[in-house]
């Protein structure tokens, strides 16, 4: 168990670090997939198998693919343009991140946390049942949110006639 935990922690942290530090954008996205998978591993370790499955499906399946698409749509994948480095805030950002770590870890150490592992597990059946009984309102609200977000995303990203003309015009001019 412990070994598995440390292995997972190393993998996840490496994935996260790679995602924010690597030079090549595609490598970043691949590293992010590693991170997502690591988080799913943690969920399995914590006996939340259903959430782990959702994590794989949504993050690795959908989000990572979307990110890769966005990278390809906005950048030239091979060559110099992917090598975008750090902005001018990097030292401040590093400092503030270290402060955040210190503060959070201190807070974790100074709390008395529950150390007892309760028996029994949450079944997918229970999750589904609760979702349409106790939590039916949040469930519906979030469905509306998701629908709205999807429609909004399509509208925002859609190439309208006007800016298409503009784009082709630009291309012709250059």
Partner 1 sequence: MIPLSHFLTVSAVLFAIGLYGVLARKNAVIVLMGIEIMMNAANLNLIAFSRFLPANRLTGQLFALFGITIAAAEVAVGLALVIAIFRMVKTIEVDRIEKLKG
Partner 2 sequence: MEGLLNHCFWIPLFPLFAAALIAIFKNNRRKAASSLAILAIALSFIFSILLFLVYLRGHEEGHGTLRVLLHFPWFTSGGTPEVISFIVDPLTLMMLLVVTLVSLLVFIYSLGYMHEDPNSVRFFCFLSLFAASMLSLVISNHLLILFMCWELVGLCSYLLIGFWYEKPEAAEAAKKAFIVTRIGDIGFFIGLLLLYQKTGSLLLYGEGHPSLFSPEMLHLLKTHAVTVPFFGGILLTTLLGVLLFMGAMGKSAQFPLHVWLPDAMEGPTPVSALIHAATMVAAGVFLVARMFPLLDGTGAMTVISWTGGFTALFAATIAIAQFDIKRVLAYSTISQLGYMMMGLGLGGLVAGTFHLMTHAFFKALLFLGSGSVIHGCHGEQDMRKMGGLRKEMPVTFWTYLTGTLALAGIFPFSGFFSKDEILTEAFTKNRTLYGIGTLTAFLTAFYMFRQIFMVFLGKGRLHGHPHESPPTMLWPLRILAVLALVSGFVGTPFLFHNPFHHFIAADREGVAPSYLVMIVSTTVALSGILTAYLIYGRRAFIEDPLIPALKGFFRLLEKKYYMDELYQNTFVRAISSLASLFKTVDQVLIDGFLHLTGFASLTLSRFNQWIDNFFINGGFDKACAGIRGGGGKLGRLQTGRAQDYLLYASIGAMVSYLLFRLL
Residues at the interface with partner 2 (CB under 8 A): 87, 89, 92-93, 96, 99-100, 103
Among 7, 77, 96, 132, binds partner 1 (CB under 8 A): 96
Nearer to partner 1, 105 or 169 (CB): 105
Among 77, 131, 132, 136, binds partner 1 (CB under 8 A): 131
What is the C-alpha separation between 139 and 15, in angstroms, rounded?
A: 31
Write down the least CB distance from residue 47 to partner 1, Å.
Answer: 6
Write down the least CB distance from residue 25 to partner 1, Å.
Answer: 6
Sign of CA dihedral 29, 30, 35, 36: positive
Q: Is 42 a binder of partner 1 (CB under 8 A)?
A: yes
What is the C-alpha separation between 81 and 29, in angstroms, rounded?
A: 16
Nearest to 60 by CA among 19, 32, 41, 24: 32
Q: Is 105 a binder of partner 1 (CB under 8 A)?
A: yes
Write down the least CB distance from residue 145 to partner 1, Å.
Answer: 6
- Which of the choices partner 1, partner 2, none does residue 7 contact, using the CB cut-off of 5 to 8 A by kind? none
Tokens of 49: 């198998």
Q: Is 116 a binder of partner 1 (CB under 8 A)?
A: yes
| Residue 55, CA distances (Å) to 34, 49, 51, 69, 82 in order | 12, 10, 6, 19, 28
Residues in region 50-89 near partner 1 by CB under 8 A: 50-51, 54-55, 58-59, 62-63, 66-67, 69-71, 73-75, 84-89
**How much is the CA Rg of the chain, to the nearest whole Å?**
22
Angle, CA 110 vertex, CA 105 and CA 112 arms, to 5° = 115
Nearer to partner 2, 9 or 103 (CB): 103
Tokens of 28: 């970043």
Tokens of 91: 């030292």
């Amino acid at each position: 168990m412990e070994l598995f935990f440390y292995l997972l922690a190393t993998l996840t942290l490496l994935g996260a670090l790679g995602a924010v530090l690597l030079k090549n954008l595609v490598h970043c996205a691949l590293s992010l997939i590693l991170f997502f998978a690591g988080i799913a591993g943690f969920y399995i370790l914590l006996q939340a198998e259903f959430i782990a499955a959702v994590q794989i499906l949504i993050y690795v399946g959908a989000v990572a693919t979307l990110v890769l698409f966005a990278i390809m749509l906005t950048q030239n994948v091979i060559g110099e343009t992917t090598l975008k480095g750090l902005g001018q805030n990097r030292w401040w950002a590093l400092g503030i991140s270290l402060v955040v770590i210190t503060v959070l870890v201190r807070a974790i150490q100074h709390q008395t946390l529950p150390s007892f592992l309760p028996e029994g597990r949450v079944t997918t059946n229970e999750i589904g049942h609760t979702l349409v009984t106790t939590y039916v309102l949040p469930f519906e609200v979030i469905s509306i949110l998701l629908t709205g977000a999807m429609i909004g995303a399509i509208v925002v990203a859609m190439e309208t006639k006007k800016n298409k003309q503009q784009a082709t015009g630009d291309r012709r001019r250059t």
